[in-house]
Amino acid sequence: MNVLFVDSTTEKQAFYGTKFSSVQESHFTSCELHLRLASPEEYSTKLADSDLLILGSGLKDKAVGIALQVKQLYPEIEILLFLAEHTGDSFEYSAFENALAAGVRKILPDNASNLDILQELLVVHNELKRSGKIREAKLFVVKSVKGGTGATTLVAALAEVCSDANKKVLIWDFDCETRDLSRALSVNSTEFDKKFEGWLESPRSITRESFTNALAPLSNCAKICSLLLNTT
């Protein structure tokens, strides 16, 4: 789950990052949190892959405006707003109302307990699973120091076995130079080749969107022998 922390200073950003890391390591080991920090000036460049946005207490009046803008651009992103420990009593009702109207999921104090944070993480994580944005999966990695040892055949066979067990299967060919697995399955889509080359040439990291765009359904892009037909 990708979590983005936004606050006015790096110290406050790190404060929330440390707090959430502690909760994850102690109570939420079943989910891997990918934490990123950003200032109010740069957060918009890191929103695309975010699942949860944390707005720190240092943002003050800027927080509601940021929440409103984020929800307009990415309505699926969940938002938690933190307030300074003694702000709650002086925080006007209208400000709470505006924050919730802007799409803030929950308002928490900076001294919120690990249990409070864990509850919010669990709810958000479960909603992401229900929506299909996060899937519980098992990863099988087959690697070989040199070619000709049967790694490609083994991967294809594993995919077939998993498919026979009614599991959805994703085969990822990491051999960027020869693409033996892709060739073994006769993936001959010109569009797929262009997307694959784009990955290699792009200086940016692979995002969730670029990964999804580069998927090549075997039913559309490959000529598969009957033995491997179920891997789709």
Q: What is the pLDDT along the chain (232 residues), one digit of tens a residue?
A: 899 999 999 999 999 999 999 998 888 777 788 899 999 999 999 998 899 999 999 998 899 999 999 999 999 999 999 998 765 555 566 777 888 899 999 999 999 999 999 999 999 998 988 887 777 667 777 777 566 677 777 887 787 788 777 777 777 766 656 666 666 666 665 666 676 676 667 656 666 676 676 666 666 555 544 333 344 3
Q: How many CA atoms lie within 13 A of 210 on its CB side?
A: 15
pLDDT at 164: 78
Domain coverage including residue 184:
151-231
Rounded CA gap, 38 and 31, in Å? 22
Contacts of residue 169, Cβ cutoff 8 Å, sequence gap at least 6: 159, 162, 163, 231
Question: Is 137 part of a structural domain of the chain?
Answer: no
Rounded CA gap, 215 and 172, in Å? 9
Residues 7 and 117 in one domain: yes
Instruction: Scan for tokens 């800027």, then name that residue.
Output: 62
Residues 53 and 113 in one domain: yes
Residues 10 and 64 in one domain: yes
Question: Is 95 part of a structural domain of the chain?
Answer: yes
Q: What is the dihedral of CA 114, 127, 32, 65, to 10 degrees?
A: -70
pTM (2 decimals)? Answer: 0.63
Domain boundary among 131, 161, 185: 131
Domain boundary among 80, 99, 131: 131
pLDDT at 227: 38
Residues 19 and 96 in one domain: yes
